[in-house]
Amino acid sequence: MPIHALHPQTGDTITASLAGASLVLSPRFGESYSFDRAGRLLGLFHAACSYQRTLDHRLLLRGGPDQRRHELDPAEADALLAAVFDSLRALAEIVPRLDLAPDDRRYLAGALAKILDFGPDRLAADGAAFRALYKPVSILPPDQYLALVLQATEGCSWNRCTFCGLYRDRPFRIHSPASFREHCHRVQDFYGEGLSLRRGIFLADANALIIPQARLRALLDVAQEIFGQHGQPRPIFSFVSAFDVLRKSPDDWAELRGLGLERAYIGLETGDDALLRFLNKPGTVQDAIEAVRALRAGGVAVGVIAMAGIGGDRFAADHVAHTLDAIRAMELGPGDLVYLSEYVPAPGTEYPAQIAAAGIRPLDAAEVAAQLRTLQVALRSELPGVKITPYHVDGFAL
DSSP result, 183-212: HHHHHHHHHGGGGGG--SEEEESS-GGGS-
DSSP result, 82-135: HHHHHHHHHHHHHGGGS---HHHHHHHHHHHHHHHHT-HHHHHHHHHHHHHHSS
Residue 180, pLDDT above cutoff 80: yes
Give the pLDDT score at 363: 97
Quote the CA–CA distance of 285 and 268 in Å, as a whole number: 8
Q: Worst-scoring range by mean pLDDT, 1-10, 105-114, 261-270, 286-295?
A: 1-10
In this structure, the dihedral spanned by the alpha carbons of residues 27, 30, 36 and 40, taken in order and rounded to 10 degrees, is: -80
204: β partners: 151
Q: Pick left, alpha or beta for residue 202 (phi over 0 → left; psi -120 to 50 → alpha; otherwise beta).
A: beta
The contacts of residue 193 (CB under 8 Å, 6+ apart) are 36, 37, 38
Total-model pTM:
0.93
Most confident of 26-35, 93-102, 352-361: 352-361
Give the pLDDT score at 67: 52
Residue 171, pLDDT above cutoff 90: yes
Residues 83, 394, 289, CA angle at the centre, nearest 5°?
Answer: 145
Give the pLDDT score at 30: 87
Q: What is the mean pLDDT of residues 193-206?
A: 93
pLDDT tens digits along 141-163: 999 999 999 999 999 999 999 99
CA 285 to chain centre: 26
Give the pLDDT score at 380: 95
pLDDT interval class at 317 (50, 70, 90)? very high
Quote the CA–CA distance of 335 and 142 in Å, as a whole number: 15
pLDDT tens digits along 55-79: 999 999 976 544 567 899 999 999 9
Average pLDDT, the chain: 93
Question: How much of the chain, in percent, has pLDDT values that exceed 90?
Answer: 79
pLDDT interval class at 1 (50, 70, 90)? low
Of the candidates 287, 282, 289, 235, the one whose C-alpha atom is nearest the C-alpha of residue 263 is: 235
Quote the CA–CA distance of 313 and 252 in Å, as a whole number: 41
Q: Which fold has domain 134-395?
A: TIM Barrel (3.20.20)
Helix axis angle, 74-94 relative to 120-133, nearest 10°? Answer: 130
Residue 48, pLDDT above cutoff 90: no
pLDDT interval class at 389 (50, 70, 90)? very high
Q: Contact at 8 Å (CB) between 305 and 267?
A: yes
Quote the CA–CA distance of 81 and 74 in Å, as a whole number: 10
Give the pLDDT score at 32: 93
The contacts of residue 140 (CB under 8 Å, 6+ apart) are 147, 149, 202, 204, 396, 398
Residue 368, pLDDT above cutoff 70: yes
264: β partners: 238, 302
Task: Give the three-state DSSP class for 365.
Answer: helix
Residue 19, pLDDT above cutoff 90: no
Give the pLDDT score at 373: 96
